[in-house]
């Protein structure tokens, strides 16, 4: 990864990862069997999926996998695509399958859709807020346990960019690493020596550390909790000779929708926001047996 690039993962997670997510969700919900669904006749039926608030749609592969795990012959006719902005009252899909399987898969399939659509929706709002500035919206590792690949996929669907996926695919030096190494320079050199092939992200706490990181070189610099004046000065330093903006600057901390645009307009390259995946507002959806209402 060059200094001006961010890691872009394949849009959709591996099929086996989606299937594993679905298997866990169905196992925790069904347990020894759906005792209520057993009251229904095991006959063919129809259902429709209704969106009950404005949102960015995301999570179809998980929804499909839930229903096909219980009824391989189910037919799902989608009226929207991943990433579509949908309005309240939109019928997203119609289904044809076995009545018991439809209602048993209902909750798990909706849980995936509402969570991932919520993540995509809030990401899209942040992306919209910085549009035209050149800043990119990044996620973090603050994801729901067990759903990291799914939520990071939803961030991409919402127009955001993934930060590192875990502790294994990038080196990120923070205060504790610098303290242990004795200096920022020593920490950077040790990281390069041990993990030369991995991207290196360096967090700095002062303008002096920023200049140190720029001199040593890395793939991205995180200016954490800088005030507005320090942030603008950091941008000026990073874009002046001899650095010429080759190392992107990332902002984290103290970011919300009231401060986001101003931070982006200061000229930073990336803004990472834990709330994209941590503060999940689940989108209100419902799956109802029967044909959809007439338009």
The residues annotated with a catalytic role in the active site are 107, 142, 174, 203, 224
CA distance 3 to 220: 7
Tokens of 208: 């002096």
Residue 134: phi and psi, rounded to 5, are: 90, -10
In angstroms, the Cα distances linking 284 to 54, 116, 195, 254, 276 are 9, 12, 44, 29, 17
The closest of 233, 239, 192, 193 to 214, measured between CA atoms, is: 239
**Cα of 244 vs its chain's centroid, Å:** 30
In angstroms, the Cα distances linking 87 to 53, 55, 137 are 6, 7, 24
User: Which residue is associated with the tokens 């009824």?
Assistant: 71
CA distance 245 to 269: 9
Burial class (CB in 10 A: 0-12, 13-18, 19+), 43: exposed
């Amino acid at each position: 990864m060059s200094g001006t690039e961010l890691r872009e993962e394949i849009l959709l997670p591996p099929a086996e990862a989606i299937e594993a997510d679905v298997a866990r969700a169905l196992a925790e919900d069904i347990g020894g069997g759906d005792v209520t669904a057993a009251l229904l006749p095991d006959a063919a039926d129809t259902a429709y999926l209704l969106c009950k608030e404005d949102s960015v749609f995301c999570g179809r592969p998980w929804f499909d996998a839930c229903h096909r795990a219980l009824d391989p012959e189910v037919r799902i006719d989608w009226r929207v695509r991943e990433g579509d902005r949908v309005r309240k009252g939109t019928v997203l899909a119609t289904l044809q399958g076995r009545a018991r399987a439809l209602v048993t898969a209902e909750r798990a399939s909706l849980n995936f859709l509402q969570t991932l659509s919520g993540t995509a929706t809030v990401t899209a709002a942040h992306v919209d807020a910085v549009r035209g500035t050149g800043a990119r919206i990044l996620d973090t590792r603050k994801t729901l346990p067990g759903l990291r690949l799914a939520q990071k996929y939803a961030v991409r669907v919402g127009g955001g960019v993934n930060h590192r996926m875990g502790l294994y695919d990038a080196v990120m030096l923070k205060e504790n690493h610098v303290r242990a190494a004795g200096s920022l320079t020593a920490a950077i050199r040790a990281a390069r020596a041990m993990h030369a092939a991995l991207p290196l992200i360096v967090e700095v706490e002062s303008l002096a550390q920023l200049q140190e990181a720029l001199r040593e070189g890395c793939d991205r610099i995180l200016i954490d909790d800088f005030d507005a004046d320090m942030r603008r000065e950091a941008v000026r330093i990073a874009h002046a000779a001899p650095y010429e903006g080759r190392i992107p600057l990332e902002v984290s901390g103290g970011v919300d929708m009231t401060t986001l645009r101003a931070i982006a307009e200061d000229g930073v390259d990336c803004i990472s926001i834990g709330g994209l995946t941590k503060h999940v507002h689940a989108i209100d959806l419902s799956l109802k047996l029967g044909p959809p209402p007439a338009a």
